[in-house]
Amino acid sequence: MKHTSMQVPEEFQITPYHFKQYLVDGKLKTWEGATSEVYSTIRTVNAEGEQLPTLLGTIPDMESEAALEALESANTAYNRGQGKWPTMKVSERLKCMETFVEKMKQHREAVVKLLMWEICKNKSDSYKEFDRTVDYIYDTIEAYKNLDRKGAKFDKQGGIHAHIRRGPLGVVLCLGPYNYPLNETFCLLVPAIIMGNTAIFKPAKHGVLLIAPLLQAFQESFPPGVVNIVFGRGRKIASPIMQTGVIDVLALIGHSSSAVALQDEHPNKNRLRLVLGLEAKNPAIVLPDADLENTIKECISGTLSFNGQRCTALKVLFVHESIVDEFNRRFSKAVDELVFGMPWEDTFLTPLPEPGKPAYIQDLIKDAVAKGAKILNKKGGQLSENYSFPAVLYPVNETMDVYHEEQFGPVIPIIAYKDINEPLEVMATSNYGQQVSLFGRDVRKIGPLIDALANLVCRVNLNSACQRGPDVYPFTGRKNSAVGTLSVYDALRSFSIRTFVASKDTPYNNEILESMLHSKDSNFVTTEYLL
């Protein structure tokens, strides 16, 4: 399979961008040390006529000292909770965020182009990622106003007045994934800082250059030290930061092994709060009476949107034995009809951004085939330099690697079941528990099944693929799939803690409180109502 020879339309052509800046203490500093090259797996023809991965630019490969400088900056800005940012009026913090989002919007085209080149996301999904992130920021601003309004009052119980609000936790280390390098990272960073925390943010391994156009917007929108952005490898940046014990929150979307390794670096486990979105092995369960047309459509999007590189992707399909042959025939045909192309051609299938991924997917296929599975679709496993065409594997069993691993790529294991307890048992014994897709119609079957599934995962998708959105809904998981809950509303809670002022109902105290409310000397004790 050859997909490499192509002309890039002028509007999508890219000139290598040698980016040297990082943001620390409110200053855009120039990195004078080593840099690393950023390549796209999309191949273009060079001056010598060779087709090679495309050089997109360079980014700083920063050392531990610079990471610790960023930590110092965040820690100073937080200043034990006495900093300008954590004590600022909520309305002023919101103004900073509004300024940021307006500035961010000006970089839509640049960021979208880099999303297409760096992580090979197709054009419409790249625009969707940008726009969804902007919406998320606006929704977060509204959600915080609402939360703040609820706190703009006094309660009285047992003769004690209480003014209860949510306060920041401290210094946050924020690490996002390559599949949503803008959206998922900002869904951590934005609620973290809006609640009054300060942050150090290191972009993911892929999808790094696209953060560059936004550095200045961060610098101009927030007080010094609130957001610090550094580039480089996890072991040189994240590990030394964690080892200091200064981090109050580890916010990470990625693999549980990274989350565990970083927690282990922190000397004070109980100080460290965790906000983690981790891997999953979301199953689809197809009941005998499922509407196959809709089921196949949803299973295609569930397994193969962005080539299956989504934590919410369907990673295994359990199909009732009475319909499995029909399902396999129609599903395999639908997979082979999917079109591969370049991101700007807006095809459903696009190259894989990780250079080693096609080989990894091939290994999964070979292992399954060696143990008795067949590749059901004609194009399954066809290989090019940056792609392995989606392979439908059947029958899959527990001896195969693809049965256990989160493949995060274009290979779809199918398992036939006879008794519904078979998939339920697999889910119960799995280390993961994010979501499930349930396809069927008979409420006498579906009703009790939902009761069981809701206790095994955190979202049961009825006759539809698994997904995170809409972002106002809770996004979480059981077991090794998540720690904490994210959503526009829940993220504000995850990055804060309830804290309050209590005062006995005496004339002496009441007079102090009333006078404080009138004088506006406290930004915490206030009944100001944000509209």
Q: What is the smallest separation between the CB atom of 5 and ligand G3H, expressed in angstroms?
A: 31
Q: Among residues 140 and 179, whose Cβ is nearest to ligand G3H?
A: 179
CB of 280 to ligand G3H, least distance (A): 8
What are the C-alpha distances in Å from 393 to residues 107, 214, 396, 531? 42, 42, 7, 55
Q: Which residues in the 471-510 window bind ligand G3H by CB under 6 A?
A: none
- Smallest gap from Cβ 310 to ligand G3H, in A, equals 4
- Do the beta carbons of residue 415 and residue 317 sit within 8 Å? yes
Residue 526 in contact with ligand G3H, rule: CB under 6 A: no
Size, binding site for ligand G3H by CB under 6 A: 9
Rounded to 5°, the CA angle 156-159-162 comes to: 40
Least CB distance from residue 395 to ligand G3H, whole Å?
Answer: 28
Task: With beta carbons less than 8 A apart as the criterion, state whether 367 and 402 touch.
Answer: yes
Q: Decide whether 303 or 328 has the Cβ nearer to ligand G3H.
A: 303
Starting at the edge strand found earlier in the chain, the sheet holding 21-24 runs: 27-30, 21-24, 227-229, 198-202, 171-175, 249-253, 273-277, 482-483
Strand partners, 437: 284, 461
Binders in 177-196 for ligand G3H, by CB under 6 A: 179-180, 184
Q: Strand 171-175 to strand 160-168: parallel, antiparallel, or no bridges (unpaired)?
A: unpaired
Beta strands (DSSP E) in 348-431 are: 374-375, 383-384, 387-388, 391-394, 411-417
- Listed in sequence order, the residues at least 6 apart from 428 whose beta carbon sits closer than 8 Å to its beta carbon are 456
Give the nearest distance from C-beta 242 to ligand G3H in angstroms. Answer: 23
Q: Between 184 and 248, whose beta carbon lies closer to ligand G3H? A: 184
Q: Which is nearer to ligand G3H, 193 or 482 (CB)?
A: 482
In the bound complex, what is the minimum distance in angstroms from residue 495's beta carbon to ligand G3H? 17
**What's the CA gap between 3 and 382, in Å, rounded?**
11
Q: Are 484 and 276 in contact (CB under 8 A)?
A: yes
Instruction: Report the amino acid identity of residue 1.
Output: M
Q: Are residues 290 and 440 in contact, defined by beta-carbon separation less than 8 angstroms?
A: yes
Binding to ligand G3H, residues 430-469 (CB under 6 A): 467-469
Residue 292 or residue 338: which is nearer to ligand G3H going by CB? 338
Pick the piece of the chain touching ligand G3H (CB under 6 A) from 26-34, 176-184, 325-333, 368-376: 176-184
| Residue with Cβ nearer ligand G3H (179 or 487) | 179
The residue (of 161 and 459) whose beta carbon lies closer to ligand G3H is 459
To ligand G3H, the closest distance from the beta carbon of 353 in angstroms equals: 14
Contact 375, 393 (CB under 8 A): yes
Rounded to whole angstroms, the Cα distance separating 475 from 482 reads 9
Using CB under 6 A, pick the residue from 123, 310, 315, 357 that binds ligand G3H.
310
Q: Of these, 42, 137, 311, 492, which contacts ligand G3H (CB under 6 A)?
A: 311
Closest to ligand G3H by CB, 208 vs 247, is 208
Residue 291 CB, nearest approach to ligand G3H (Å) = 22
Residues at the interface with ligand G3H (CB under 6 A): 179-180, 184, 310-312, 467-469
